[in-house]
Amino acid sequence: MDVAVRALDLSKLPPESWDALVSLLNEEERARAARFAFGEDRNSYIAAHALLRAELSKRAGLPPQDWRFAAAAHGKPFLIDAPRDMRFSLSHTRGMVAVAICEGVDIGVDVEPSDRRAESMKLAERFFAPEEVTLLRTVEGEARRDMFFAIWTLKEAVVKATGQGLSRALDSFAVSLDPPRVTMLDDPAQAWSAAHWRKEKFHFALAAQGPVRIDFDLAQAASLFP
């Protein structure tokens, strides 16, 4: 099974593409976009949902505006009336958005800026699994911040794949790096796939609840419009 991860760098979007991106959204999404207090957050929301709709439409014969969504108990969105068992995840942060799409396997994607200030060790000691804290202690300074965000994005991707979000204890599973791996501490036999990328000023991670092939690409705005 293949998972397509597509990211869109908002700093590279020509100003004239924003109207076209908004035109891919439905009424509810446009109304939600209008409620964001900050323009950068609004733009990330618009771009993520437009990218998702455009990428779904490339894989099934439905116009971008026609996809319908609902949310499960902890907020994980899913498709209603999809032609096949299509699954997805999306993530937005200021300046960058990412979506992941596949069939039949639960997936989670996360993107975070690499220059975000974070009390890495304090957060890790409070929320991460002991083996992740041990891993972080092997490095210092910039390398520690990088490793922290690699682990953080992978952990976010896992809780987005399961749909539990932050209702799942982040120390109930452990990720390792080089190569990225996910181990559920109460059920180590679960076969997870994981990937992490560092591109420009962002960390990206993908987690999938099963064996998959993962393909990552930066999307071009022009490719979103048929």
Ligand X SMILES: CC(C)(COP(=O)(O)OP(=O)(O)OC[C@H]1O[C@@H](n2cnc3c(N)ncnc32)[C@H](O)[C@@H]1OP(=O)(O)O)[C@@H](O)C(=O)NCCC(=O)NCCS
Does 127 interact with ligand X (rule: CB under 6 A)?
Answer: yes
CB atoms within 10 A of CB 61: 6
Does 210 interact with ligand X (rule: CB under 6 A)?
Answer: no
For ligand X, which residue of 43, 79, 149, 163 counts as binding (CB under 6 A)? 163
Name the 3-class secondary structure at 204.
strand
List of long-range contacts for 127-130, beta carbons under 8 Å, 24+ apart: 127/170, 127/171, 128/155, 128/170, 128/171, 129/170, 129/171, 129/172, 129/173, 129/174, 129/185, 130/171
Q: Which residues contact 197 (CB under 8 A, 6 or more apart)?
A: 203, 204, 205, 216
Does 160 interact with ligand X (rule: CB under 6 A)?
Answer: yes
Question: Which C-beta is closer to ligand X: that of 55 or that of 156?
Answer: 156
Does 159 interact with ligand X (rule: CB under 6 A)?
Answer: yes
Question: Which C-beta is closer to ligand X: that of 76 or that of 145?
Answer: 76
Part of the chain binding ligand X (CB under 6 A), chosen from 4-12, 17-25, 89-97, 190-198: 89-97
What part of residues 37-66 is at the interface with ligand X (CB under 6 A)? 45
Does 118 interact with ligand X (rule: CB under 6 A)?
Answer: no
Residue 145's H or E segment, with its range, is helix 141-162
Which residues of the shown chain bind ligand X in the complex (CB under 6 A)?
A: 45, 74-77, 89-92, 108, 110, 123, 127, 152, 155-156, 159-160, 163, 165-166, 170
